Structure 1
Amino acid sequence: MELISSQNSPFECILFDLDDTLYDGEIGIHGFLKKNIEDFLSIKCKVSPEKAFSLRSEFFCSHGSSLAALLALGYDIHPDEYHSYVHGKLPYELIQPDTSLLHLLRSIHQTKILFTNSDREHAKKALMRLGIDENIFERIICFETLNPHLFSEDPLSPNMDQIVVLKPSPSAFHAAIRISGYDPHRMLFVDDSEKNVVAGKSLGLNTALVGKKVMKCEDADYLLEGIMNLREEVPEIWKMNNWSTTSVRA
Structure 2
Amino acid sequence: MTAETLRTADASPESFAHVRDWIFDLDNTLYPRHTDLFSQIDQRMTTFVADLLSLPREDARIVQKDLYRRHGTTLRGLMNERQIDPDAFLAFVHDIDYSWLEPNAALGESIATLPGRKFIFTNGDRGHAERAARQLGVLDHFDDIFDIVASNLVPKPAAETYDLFVGRHGIDPSKAAMFEDLAKNLSVPKALSMTTVLVVPRNFETTLGEYWEHEGRDGEHIDYITDDLTTFLQSIQK
**Smaller-chain TM-score bracket:** 0.7 to 0.9
Give the letter aligned to residue 110 of structure 1. G
Q: Does 1:29 align with 2:31?
A: no
Q: Does 1:130 align with 2:118?
A: no
Q: Does 1:201 align with 2:190?
A: yes
Q: Which residue of 2 aligns with 1:9?
A: 17
**Structure 1: which 4+ aligned runs deviate by more than 6 Å?**
none
Give the letter aligned to residue 60 of structure 1. Y
- Tell me, in whole angstroms, the C-alpha distance in 2 between the residues paired with 1:231 and 1:101: 8
Give the letter aligned to residue 222 of structure 1. Y
CA contact (8 A) 1:216 1:223 kept: no
Q: Deviations over 1:206-244 (max 9, x none)?
A: 1011112467442111111121132355x2xx48xxxxx
SS in 2 for 1:143: coil
SS in 1 for 2:196: strand
Instruction: Identify the match of residue 85 of structure 1 among 69, 92, 104.
Output: 92
- Tell me, in whole angstroms, the C-alpha distance in 2 between the residues paired with 1:204 and 1:171: 16
Q: Does 1:61 align with 2:69?
A: yes
Q: Which residue of 1 aligns with 2:117?
A: 111
Instruction: Identify the match of residue 147 of structure 2 among 139, 142, 146.
Output: 142
CA contact (8 A) 1:21 1:226 kept: no
Percent identical among aligned pairs is 25
Task: Give 1:109 shift.
Answer: 2.2
Matches within 5 A, 1:146-157: 146-147=151-152
- Tell me, in whole angstroms, the C-alpha distance in 2 between the residues paired with 1:232 and 1:121: 28
Listed as ranges, the gaps of 5+ residues in structure 2 are 1-13, 205-216
- Tell me, in whole angstroms, the C-alpha distance in 1 between the residues paired with 2:30 and 2:20: 20
Larger radius of gyration: 1
How many residues align? The count is 212
Give the letter aligned to residue 92 of structure 1. Y
Instruction: Identify the match of residue 227 of structure 1 among 219, 229, 234.
Output: 229
CA contact (8 A) 2:173 2:194 kept: yes
- Tell me, in whole angstroms, the C-alpha distance in 2 between the residues paired with 1:182 and 1:63: 27
- Tell me, in whole angstroms, the C-alpha distance in 1 between the residues paired with 2:30 and 2:231: 11
Task: Give 1:184 shift.
Answer: 0.7
Task: Give 1:7 shift.
Answer: 9.9
Q: Deviations over 1:48-91 (max 9, x none)?
A: 2111010111001111111111111133x222211111111x22
Task: Give 1:138 shift.
Answer: 1.4
- The two structures have a TM-score, normalised by structure 2, of 0.83
CA contact (8 A) 1:38 1:56 kept: yes
- Tell me, in whole angstroms, the C-alpha distance in 2 between the residues paired with 1:228 and 1:135: 17
Give the letter aligned to residue 122 of structure 1. H
Task: Give 1:181 shift.
Answer: 0.8
- Tell me, in whole angstroms, the C-alpha distance in 2 between the residues paired with 1:31 and 1:69: 19
Listed as ranges, the gaps of 5+ residues in structure 1 are 1-5, 148-163, 240-250
SS in 2 for 1:197: helix
SS in 2 for 1:209: strand
Give the letter aligned to residue 55 of structure 2. V
Task: Give 1:112 shift.
Answer: 0.8
Q: Which has the higher helix share?
A: 2
- The two structures have a TM-score, normalised by structure 1, of 0.79
- Tell me, in whole angstroms, the C-alpha distance in 1 between the residues paired with 2:25 and 2:157: 12
Task: Give 1:186 shift.
Answer: 0.9
SS in 1 for 2:82: coil
Task: Give 1:8 shift.
Answer: 8.6
Q: Deviations over 1:28-65 (max 9, x none)?
A: 11222211111000011121211101011100111111
- Tell me, in whole angstroms, the C-alpha distance in 1 between the residues paired with 2:120 and 2:233: 18
Provide the aligned C-alpha RMSD in A. 2.0
Matches within 5 A, 1:164-175: 164-175=153-164
